[in-house]
Amino acid sequence: MAQAALLRYGAQGTTSTPDPVAGVLVQSEGWDWMVFRNGPLKTYGGYALAAIVGFLLIFFLLRGQIKVESGSSGRKIMRFGGIARLGHWLNAIAFILLALTGLNMLYGRSLLLPIIGPEWFSMLTSFGKISHNWGAFVFIFTTLWIFITFVSKNFLSRDDFGWIIRAGGMLTKGVHPPARFFNFGEKIVFWSAIIGGAGIIITGLALLFPYQLTFIPGELAIHKMQFASMWHSIIGLGLIVVIIGHIYIGTIGMEGALGSMTSGYVDRNWASEHHSLWLEELDAKAAKPDVGAGEPAE
Ligand code: HEM
């Protein structure tokens, strides 16, 4: 009886097979993991996604698009070179694919299955699972790419405090706190993508190569998998919330921002309103006789 009780609570014995996990007959924490996944994770994850979409909708209705208030100058400045843009877009495509297929794994059964039926849902989810596994490698590679390309411009600086105190000028028209190449809001996005990205990558690799990453916390090998699965979903949902905000401000939220990641160029007046200290640096460089005018920032 006592032995049965021990088994029920995940006791690990020995086995002659090469797989040490086979030593656990009953793994009772699996139940806790499932209750967490189908309960708080799904519920609060759903609230967080609805909250960011709702917040941005209200923000857009109240504030509208943040315009270039001094109008177009007709003079373009290079902001991102080809390598930075390629890394960004490959990372964005991989992230969006991973986010959509990951959300389908969590919410698809409740939201999509009743609408599209079992045949289509199983086809979509099988394809999604394969894309999720392979897309992960593009995400790993391009997260490293983004880190190398942008890290030098993302360290906190004293100017960030002025930007924070005035909420980046986002709440009030006519307010443009000075910022260097990246402002504090962009630094938040960068470090979320890097630190959150690293968290998703490590926990994701632990799920992709089961029982191999032994440094993951947990007493038994199976606990490590449950830990990895739980944090993979939590960090993933958190990063999706941040990136929805980022996509908003990079597209409809701010006039003139998207050009920096499509053509690589921004209007001089956009730079002067949103990154005045960067523009000053560029002008100072251009004024030096050995550096050409309009020298790219990278
Ligand atoms: C449709 C999707 C996306 C759009 C339209 C978009 C747009 C942009 C734009 C316009 C910039 C340049 C901002 C500037 O000039 O200062 C930028 C920068 C950046 N993006 Fe994206 N982006 C998208 C997806 C993503 C994703 C999925 C990630 C990472 C997971 C990401 C990470 C970054 C980072 C780290 C930067 C540099 C720092 C920053 O501006 O925050 N982006 N993006």
- Give me the amino acid identity at 219: E
**Average pLDDT for residues 39-53, to the nearest whole number?**
98
Ligand 1: centre distance to CA 58 (Å)? 22
Q: What is the pLDDT of residues 104-123, one digit of tens each?
A: 999 999 999 999 999 999 99
Nearest to 250 by CA among 83, 66, 63, 82: 66
H or E segment and range at residue 59: helix 42-63
Ligand 1: centre distance to CA 24 (Å)? 45
Q: What is the pLDDT of residues 113-171, one digit of tens each?
A: 999 999 999 999 999 999 999 999 999 999 999 999 999 999 999 999 999 999 999 99
pTM (2 d.p.): 0.90
CATH architecture of 75-287: Up-down Bundle (1.20)
- Ligand 1 binding site (Cβ under 6 Å of any ligand atom): 79, 88, 91-92, 95, 146, 150, 182, 186, 189-190, 193, 243, 246-247, 250-251, 257-258, 260-261
Report the residue among 80, 88, 274, 277 best suited for mutation to probe ligand 1: largest number of ligand atoms under 8 A from its CB.
88
Output the pLDDT for position 265: 98
Strand ranges (DSSP E) for the chain?
Answer: 76-78, 265-267
Nearest to 207 by CA among 231, 234, 191: 231
Ligand 1: centre distance to CA 88 (Å)? 7
Structural domain boundaries of the chain? 75-287
Q: What is the pLDDT of residues 181-208, one digit of tens each?
A: 999 999 999 999 999 999 999 999 999 9
Report the residue among 261, 266, 270, 274 best suited for mutation to probe ligand 1: largest number of ligand atoms under 8 A from its CB.
261
CA distance 213 to 210: 8
> Which residue is it, tokens 């086995």?
15
Ligand 1: centre distance to CA 92 (Å)? 8
Q: Residue 10 — pLDDT band, cuts 50, 70, 90?
A: low
Nearest to 77 by CA among 255, 288, 256, 252: 256
The count of residues in the chain is 298
CA distance 246 to 243: 5
Q: What is the pLDDT of residues 272-293, one digit of tens each?
A: 999 999 999 999 998 877 655 4
Q: Which atom of ligand 1 is nearest to the CA of 257?
A: 10
